[in-house]
Amino acid sequence: MKITIMQGAFFPVPSLLGGAIEKAWEALGKEFAKLGHEVTHISRKFEALPQRSKDGNIEHIRVQGANACSNPFLLKLRELPYVLRARKHLPKADVLVTHTFWAPLLYPKEKYGKLYVHVGRYPKGQMGLYKKATVLQAPTQAIAQSIRNQSSNLADKISVQPYPLSLPLPSEVSFEHKEKTILYVGRIHPEKGISELMRAWQKLKPNLKNGWKLKILGPWKQEQGGAGAQYLKNLQKLITEDGEIVDPIFDPAQLQKEYLKARIFAYPSLAEKGETFGLSVLEAMSAGCVPLLSKLECFQDFAKDGSNAIFFDHRTSNRVEELTQKLSSAFANEENLPSLSKAALLTARKYDITQVAQRYIDDFSSIL
């Protein structure tokens, strides 16, 4: 099978600057190639990478892209030239996977392969325009339902396939040997609920913390999806002696080491229409972290409150107090954390790259 994966305009592949979607499809492409399929990656040109390269069954073609920005309309305008440039380099394939906004609108229906549109963001009314698409692939049931709500006539085109865990999963994790750390990994942005987490941390009584630390890790620069220097400065004012904000880590293996050290992974996102899966949550679970999550719908596919995760109600007006209470309860009942950790690890194994990649190949085969 010939598979083209057309990545977005803003992050290079390999994912040297981050990008959860790019990272996931990069990993899937490698797995497709291991299964004997021919894979072409179209991605952003980057100075540290050659314009064209080939590694076995994988070919990389890199096209001039753009820097990301916070304005969604400007973001789409910046993507358009990239999509037009990329079209000149597209090979004929059986399937063309894309998560760009413009490609399903501007590209022919089947000239470069059947259009397999990855809906990596909450749809904002554009799904009805994607009439050329053979498949609208959603990473979670929440995204699938959003597509149905906006365009019920497209229900038969929807396929729900998750993101994979690309790194080797540890066979077992010793929770007792983990550090008493609450870790956040993700974009440094107000919609992620980081300031709420830090304020809740400030409210905790010192005797409850009992050696616990808070670590915030992620990109703050706007071109990397963060909110910029001013928001970072605002967060730095909230730092206590037992907390820290550190530079982002883009290397997956190094990031996994951070997950393996932490006991709790906090992801208090407030982005009702911004989160679509929560790959970092699943990555943390695969390292035995107990996830502390907001009640966003996208987390419900793999996280269950009291079973393998802890949830707090982010929709309440007193969400800082709610989060403080959940942290207090977790510390006061530390004996419950190992069982939650074990359950999280078992859940994550269902998302191993080999299993998930085969699901996609079966999905591709069904439309050819």
Question: Which pLDDT tens digit goes with each residue over 34-68?
Answer: 999 999 999 999 998 999 999 999 999 999 999 98
Q: Label residue 17 by pLDDT band (50, 70, 90).
A: confident
Buried b (16+ CB within 10 A) or exposed e, 155-166: eebbbbbbbbbb
Q: What is the structure's pLDDT at 80? A: 97
Q: Break the chain into its structural domains and give their ranges.
A: 2-164+353-367, 175-350
Q: What is the mean pLDDT of residues 288-305?
A: 95
142 CB burial (10 A radius; 0-12, 13-18, 19+) = buried
Q: What is the structure's pLDDT at 168? A: 86
Q: Label residue 276 by pLDDT band (50, 70, 90).
A: confident
pLDDT at 204 over 90: yes
Question: Which pLDDT tens digit goes with each residue over 308-353?
Answer: 999 999 999 999 999 999 999 999 999 999 999 999 999 999 999 9
Q: What is the mean pLDDT of residues 277-289?
A: 94
Q: What is the structure's pLDDT at 125? A: 83
Q: At 327, which helix (H) or strand (E)?
A: helix 319-332
Q: What is the mean pLDDT of residues 278-298?
A: 95
Q: What is the mean pLDDT of the chain?
A: 94
CA distances from 250 to 31, 73, 141, 247, 342 (A): 20, 27, 28, 10, 26
Q: What is the structure's pLDDT at 24? A: 92
Residues in the chain: 368
Residue with the larger pLDDT of the pair 288 and 123: 288
Q: Find the range with the poorest average confidence among 192-196, 247-251, 334-338.
A: 247-251
pLDDT at 235 over 90: yes
Q: What is the structure's pLDDT at 19? A: 82
Domain 175-350 has CATH 1.10.730.10: no
* 336 token code pair: 């419950």
- Whether 324 contacts 204, CB under 8 Å: yes
Q: What is the mean pLDDT of residues 87-115?
A: 96
pLDDT at 171 over 90: no
Torsion over CA: 75, 77, 79, 82 (sign): negative
pLDDT at 172 over 90: no
Q: What is the structure's pLDDT at 170? A: 86
What's 87's DSSP letter?
H
Distance of CA 204 to the CA centre of its chain: 30
Q: What is the mean pLDDT of residues 184-204?
A: 96
Q: Label residue 71 by pLDDT band (50, 70, 90).
A: confident
Q: What is the mean pLDDT of residues 253-274?
A: 94
Q: What is the structure's pLDDT at 65? A: 95
pLDDT at 166 over 90: no
CA distance linking residue 218 with residue 224, whole number of Å: 10
Q: Are strands 262-267 and 2-6 parallel, antiparallel or unpaired?
A: unpaired
Q: What is the structure's pLDDT at 272? A: 86
Cβ partners under 8 Å of residue 316, min gap 6:
322
Fold for domain 2-164+353-367? Rossmann fold (3.40.50)
Q: Label residue 138 by pLDDT band (50, 70, 90).
A: very high
Angle formed by the axes of helices 279-286 and 252-261, nearest 10°: 60
Q: What is the structure's pLDDT at 5? A: 98
Q: What is the mean pLDDT of residues 90-105?
A: 96
